[in-house]
Structure 1
Amino acid sequence: MNRPKIPGLAPALEINSIFCIGRNYVDHIKELNNEQPDEPIVFFKPITSILFNGGTVRLPRQSTDVHHEVELVIAIGKKGRDIPKERALEYVAGYGVGIDITARDLQTKAKNARHPWSVAKGFDTFAPVSSFVDVHAVKDPQDLDLKLEVNNSVRQHDNTNLMIFPVTDLISYLSGVFTLHPGDLIFTGTPAGVSPLKKGDQIKATLGDELCTLSLNVDNQ
């Protein structure tokens, strides 16, 4: 299998594992009536869920309630295990903006049955990502605006300084469980404002002052 490459980085890195973090913003936890975790909640997306700028999010026939969740995405640049927080940023190759597309009805059903969220999070096109910028282009990953618009109307707009577990904590935590490799992506969680998507929607997600942008269409499968 030829793995897609992370756009914008030089040298180019093939996408490897896709780690995702749930419940990392307090207001988002509140809007879904969830409990705040004591440590990061981790789940995965398959590589077939990756979608790039200009692509089309496909709404699956299995769901009638598909939501957008805008997120800062970290690209890992070198192999690491048990990385201390104070060295975590040394392992970052770059940053982008992504959207954790979620079939909310399927997720709710799975959560109520205490089952994994894999199906709700893993459909094809459910992990759109922008082109990435080099790590040195970002002075502080904990001071970046995240914004998502649907049909030119702002639905999500917050700052990464509201994360419960900041970037350094996430990298350190994940590397204590999994060996991180070049090309790994980490979706860092979404702020409040998630809402449904429908066929014909036009999505625009931005990181910082248009440091990274991601434009997408929405259609049925």
Structure 2
Amino acid sequence: MASTRIGASAAPRSAACAPTPELVIPPLPVPTLPVAGEHGVFPVRRIYCVGRNYLAHIKELNHDTREPPFFFQKARDMLVQNGATIPYPTLTHDYEHEIELVLAMKSGGMNIPASQALDHVYGYAVGLDMTRRDLQNQAQEKRQPWEAGKSFDHAAPCGTIVPAATLGHPPTGRIHLEVNGVTASDGQLNDMIWSPAEIIAHLSTAFEVAAGDLIYTGTPRAVGKVGPGDKLVAAIDGLPSLQVSITS
């Protein structure tokens, strides 16, 4: 189980009874994802992404293979539903795909032991970590944050979530992506350096993981450019495929 937060206390009675402030603008909708076999949808709280979790991908980008994976975030309103058509992003000439297994969390906490981490997973989905690679590379060279390269509109396509109660966990098997019917990326989930349980455990040392969080777990080798007119089909064994098309 997750560790208990130290120092937490109940809200003062006066605060609990205070009227809710009126919003000065209409509330924004909570992004959601469909769930296989359910009428209900999964509400999304945060999106975390793991960097450098497949050895072959680390090598193809010429990064140090001794470094552990690290985390960055995308805003939840950057989610894209299966079947969507998304615009080619601005400011880039190197727009690339990265197919990933996505963990959908039903609970969490701080300092979660790896042995208990999968108890907090609601289900799994196929995701795409879309990347403006040229902007990411420029930021790395200048030692600047990655937001421009990783966190932008329509940067987080994600498919239908399959509950772990149905699928079991974690999934195993092939992870692959086709662009216009041609295989562009192909690998195995067991090629991950860090397993889903280890990812959750490590993430929870830096952030309080919670229900509604999505965790993109890294991509295998052979990331590549896409452009207007391209159709991407991302698939992982046992999960519904994710399809998106790129327009100008």
Corresponding residue to 1:191 among 217, 220, 229? 220
Q: Partners in 2 of 1:213 and 1:13 — Cα distance?
A: 17
Which residue of the partner structure matches residue 162 of structure 1? 191
- 1:99-141 Cα offsets, whole Å, 9 max, x none, are 0000010011000001111111111111000001001233342
Higher relative contact order (Cα pairs below 8 Å, separated by 6+ residues)? 1
Q: Partners in 2 of 1:158 and 1:48 — Cα distance?
A: 29
1:198 deviates by 0.8
Identity %: 37
1:42 aligns with 2:71: yes
1:214 aligns with 2:242: yes
Gaps of 5+ in 2: 1-27
- 1:55-106 Cα offsets, whole Å, 9 max, x none, are 1232122001100000000000013221100111100000000000000100
Which residue of the partner structure matches residue 55 of structure 1? 84
Letter in 2 for 1:55: A
Cα separation, partners in 2 of 1:140 and 1:92, compared to 1, 3 Å: closer
1:148 aligns with 2:188: no
1:7 aligns with 2:26: no
Q: Contact 2:124–2:164 (CA<8 Å) still a contact in 1?
A: yes
Q: Partners in 2 of 1:137 and 1:160 — Cα distance?
A: 19
Normalised by the length of structure 1, the TM-score is 0.94
Gaps of 5+ in 1: none
Q: Contact 1:23–1:37 (CA<8 Å) still a contact in 2?
A: no
RMSD over aligned Cα atoms? 1.4
- 1:123-181 Cα offsets, whole Å, 9 max, x none, are 11110000010012333425232110000000111111011111000001111211111
Normalised by the length of structure 2, the TM-score is 0.84
Corresponding residue to 1:171 among 193, 196, 200? 200
SS at 1:212 equivalent = coil
Q: Highest Rg: 1 or 2? A: 2
Q: Contact 1:142–1:167 (CA<8 Å) still a contact in 2?
A: no
